[in-house]
């Protein structure tokens, strides 16, 4: 591989490594043709990181996939354009030629590291396969090179990890393995399709750190696809802003961020969740109270299935939540945030006192809980999964009414549904439609309407914004805050996204491994965190820095 000199951004251009000219992508389905990508052009120079930014559906992944011709041809086609890689047009290249480039000169890493790795093969086999295929080495040489690669991507004790299967690794480790596989052939160009979106903020910071280091070491170019502007600002040299299949703005990161030209770029830049939570009022009644909440899952072993140990998902958490207040619960994945929320909503069994509007509900059965369910609502993370695809929006929202307000007539129910939909900013006329006709943000509004229609006192919000685009996140945060003000709601807001928590929470609990690491008023936690873990979380979330790795990486 030719060594490529280190190049700083803004230097005069050399010959571009990849040049995309007038690329269009059309999808054909049943006689319909839709243009997913419309005449985009950009260049990537050796050693450069180009970021492709845009919301979901803007065509950024489709653009990236067309570089290696990974689209589902023939239902996809390229009406125009050329993709020159090292001077060769990839769109006209034959399949064997493409195969030589794929995984060799150009490699890709994907968003979801679990599904990108074969669950049936050990990581040694998966990395080794690439080495054998492209380098023709085998036996001991493969092993040595695999260890070298795993070392390079920062997997600790790689000798022990060689025989591991993907499910035995954490999300961050899996993504590291994916990167190791991508690097195995020393590619000239690495295409990273949202490589950190599925990961925790702390792990995201580590992965970005790793990629930055590798770029410096190998001098490879990178096409980095993301919707997170924070990452772009920290990480990229140049940026292309995409919306609706078109590139609306291209420039160096500094230019675009300090002086955005296009209206959409400005909109995107202004869409970070903002605002302050309404001040907490200590005179309001306590809605939810938890004392020493524990959720332990038994580990059974041996012939008689004796309980030998417990997985302590939540291990002694106390909390108190008043009407009109928001309690933010933050922490990495696996810290027990969602489990705590489910325990409070009595959707999984727990021990410890849980009092809801003055009644101890922790010993109630599912039936005994039913009278309380209308005032105790849950909004889930994934708006695509939480709405039944076979029910119309009206039916989905009305479902709770059928359980809790049986006396309501069909017309009365319909009125309430229309009210709830307009309350969350949706046109009530849409209630005969089905969830798949709505965008992610609208779906999350429907999920919120389903909770609001019962006029709850307490809403458990389990990462309600993390599956949404940045601009939509801000809207949902605003909506939640408005509803809270209007109906004096108490929120338990679970999120790993500290920016959103900052915009909503009065009080914050920082969780780690089922225990509360730090808690206090939101201002205090964000301004002056006491614990190292909290500080590391803040650094990773707000500055994308993997500081004090010892405190977080496990």
Partner 1 sequence: MEATAAKTSVQTAPPQKRPWISPTNRRRLANFRANKRGYWSFWLFMILFVLSLFAEFIANDRPIVASYKGEILYPVLVDYPEEKFGGFLATTDYRSDYIQQEIQANGWMVWPPIRYSYQTVNSNIPHSAPTEPFWLMEKADRCAAYPQKDQDPNCTLGNLNWLGTDDQARDVTARMIYGFRISVLFGLVLTICSAVIGVTAGAVQGYFGGWTDLLMQRFIEIWSSMPVLYILLIIASILPPGFFILLGILLLFSWVGFVGVVRAEFLRARNFEYVRAARALGVGNWTIMSRHLLPNAMVATLTFLPFILSGSIATLTSLDFLGFGLPAGSPSLGEMISQGKNNLQAPWLGFTAFFTMSIMLSLLIFIGEAVRDAFDPRKTFG
> Which residues are near partner 1 by CB under 8 A?
29, 345, 347, 366, 369-370, 373-374, 377-378, 380-382, 385-392, 394, 399-400, 403-404, 414-416, 418-419, 422, 427-429, 432, 434, 436, 447, 450, 454
Instruction: Report, in Å, the least distance between residue 233 CB and partner 1.
Output: 33
Instruction: Report, in Å, the least distance between residue 365 CB and partner 1.
Output: 12
Which one, 369 or 513, has the nearer CB to partner 1? Answer: 369
Which one, 56 or 122, has the nearer CB to partner 1? Answer: 56
DSSP state of 347: S
Q: Which neighbouring-strand residues pair with 519?
A: 509
Q: Which residue has the tokens 């890493």?
A: 109
Pairing label, strands 507-512, 515-521: antiparallel
Q: Residue 344 corresponds to which tokens in the numbers above?
A: 């409070």
Which one, 240 or 446, has the nearer CB to partner 1? Answer: 446
> Distance between CA atoms of 136 and 89, rounded to whole angstroms?
27
> Distance between CA atoms of 126 and 181, rounded to whole angstroms?
8
Which one, 126 or 381, has the nearer CB to partner 1? Answer: 381
> Distance between CA atoms of 460 and 451, rounded to whole angstroms?
10
CB 54 within 8 A of CB 178: no
Which one, 49 or 295, has the nearer CB to partner 1? Answer: 295
Instruction: Report, in Å, the least distance between residue 433 CB and partner 1.
Output: 9
Instruction: Report, in Å, the least distance between residue 415 CB and partner 1.
Output: 5
Q: Which residue has the tokens 């072993």?
A: 301
| 3-class DSSP state of 479 | helix
Q: Residue 282 corresponds to which tokens in the numbers above?
A: 């200590």
Which one, 39 or 404, has the nearer CB to partner 1? Answer: 404
Instruction: Report, in Å, the least distance between residue 123 CB and partner 1.
Output: 27
Instruction: Report, in Å, the least distance between residue 422 CB and partner 1.
Output: 6
Which one, 382 or 545, has the nearer CB to partner 1? Answer: 382
Which one, 245 or 394, has the nearer CB to partner 1? Answer: 394
Instruction: Report, in Å, the least distance between residue 418 CB and partner 1.
Output: 3
Instruction: Report, in Å, the least distance between residue 375 CB and partner 1.
Output: 11
Q: Which residue has the tokens 């940045």?
A: 470
CB 494 within 8 A of CB 463: yes
Which one, 70 or 369, has the nearer CB to partner 1? Answer: 369
For residue 481, the surrounding DSSP H or E stretch is helix 470-487
Which one, 212 or 455, has the nearer CB to partner 1? Answer: 455
Backbone phi, then psi, for 125, in 5-degree steps?
-65, -40
CB 189 within 8 A of CB 88: no
Q: Which residue has the tokens 């050399």?
A: 14
> Distance between CA atoms of 191 and 111, rounded to whole angstroms?
11
CA neighbor of 351 nearest in space, from 378, 312, 379: 312
Instruction: Report, in Å, the least distance between residue 100 CB and partner 1.
Output: 32
Q: Please write down the HEC assignment for all residues of 386-422.
A: CCCCCCCHHHHHHHHHHHHCCCCCHHHHHHHHHHHHH
Instruction: Report, in Å, the least distance between residue 121 CB and partner 1.
Output: 24
> Distance between CA atoms of 451 and 366, rounded to whole angstroms?
18
Instruction: Report, in Å, the least distance between residue 258 CB and partner 1.
Output: 41
Which one, 243 or 377, has the nearer CB to partner 1? Answer: 377
| 3-class DSSP state of 130 | helix
Residue 251 burial (C-beta neighbours within 10 Å; 0-12, 13-18, 19+): middle
Backbone phi, then psi, for 483, in 5-degree steps?
-60, -40
């Amino acid at each position: 591989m030719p060594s490529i000199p280190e190049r700083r951004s803004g230097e005069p251009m050399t010959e571009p490594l990849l040049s995309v000219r007038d690329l269009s992508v059309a999808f054909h389905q049943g006689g319909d043709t839709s243009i997913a990508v419309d005449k985009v052009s950009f260049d990537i120079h050796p050693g450069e990181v180009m970021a492709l930014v845009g919301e979901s559906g803007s065509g950024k992944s489709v653009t990236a996939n067309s570089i290696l011709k990974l689209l589902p041809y023939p239902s996809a086609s390229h009406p125009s354009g050329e993709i020159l890689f090292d001077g060769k047009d990839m769109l006209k290249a034959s399949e064997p030629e493409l195969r030589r480039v794929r995984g060799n000169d150009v490699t890709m890493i994907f968003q979801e590291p679990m599904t990108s790795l074969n669950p049936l093969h050990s990581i040694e086999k998966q990395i080794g396969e690439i080495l054998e295929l492209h380098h023709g080495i085998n036996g001991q040489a493969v092993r040595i090179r695999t260890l070298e690669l795993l070392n390079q991507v920062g997997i600790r004790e790689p000798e022990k990890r060689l025989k591991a299967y993907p499910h035995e690794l954490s999300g961050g480790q899996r993504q590291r393995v994916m990167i190791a596989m991508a690097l195995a052939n020393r590619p000239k160009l690495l295409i990273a399709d949202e490589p950190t979106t599925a990961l925790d903020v702390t792990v995201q910071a580590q992965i970005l750190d790793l990629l930055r280091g590798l770029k410096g070491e190998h001098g490879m170019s990178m096409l980095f696809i993301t919707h997170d502007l924070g990452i772009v600002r920290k990480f990229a040299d140049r940026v292309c802003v995409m919306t609706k299949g078109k590139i609306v703005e291209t420039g160096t990161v500094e230019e675009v961020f300090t002086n955005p030209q296009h209206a959409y770029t400005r909109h995107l830049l202004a869409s970070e969740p903002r605002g302050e939570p309404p001040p907490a009022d200590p005179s309001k009644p306590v809605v939810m109270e938890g004392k020493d909440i524990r959720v332990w899952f038994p580990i059974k072993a041996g012939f008689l299935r004796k309980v030998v140990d417990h997985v302590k998902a939540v291990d002694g958490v106390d909390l108190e939540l008043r009407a009109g207040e928001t309690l933010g619960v933050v922490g990495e994945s696996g810290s027990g945030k969602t489990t705590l929320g489910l325990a409070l909503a009595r959707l999984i069994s727990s021990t410890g006192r849980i009092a809801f509007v003055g009644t101890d509900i922790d010993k109630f059965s599912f039936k005994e809980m039913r009278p309380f369910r209308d005032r105790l609502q849950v909004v889930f993370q994934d708006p695509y999964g939480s709405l039944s695809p076979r029910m119309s929006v009206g039916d989905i929202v009305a479902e709770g009414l059928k359980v809790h307000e049986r006396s309501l007539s069909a017309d009365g129910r319909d009125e309430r549904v229309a009210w709830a939909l307009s309350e969350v900013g949706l046109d009530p006329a849409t209630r005969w439609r089905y969830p798949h006709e709505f965008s992610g943000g609208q779906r999350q509004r429907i999920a919120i309407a389903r909770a609001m229609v019962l006029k709850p006192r307490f809403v458990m919000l389990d990462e309600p914004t993390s599956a949404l685009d940045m601009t939509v996140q801000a809207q949902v945060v605003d909506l939640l805050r408005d509803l809270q003000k209007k109906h004096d709601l108490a929120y338990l807001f679970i999120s790993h996204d500290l920016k959103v928590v900052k915009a909503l929470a009065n009080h914050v609990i920082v969780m780690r491994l089922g225990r509360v690491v730090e808690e206090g008023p939101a201002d205090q936690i964000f301004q002056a965190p006491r614990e190292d873990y909290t500080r590391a979380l803040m650094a990773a979330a707000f500055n994308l820095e993997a500081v004090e790795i010892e405190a977080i990486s496990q």
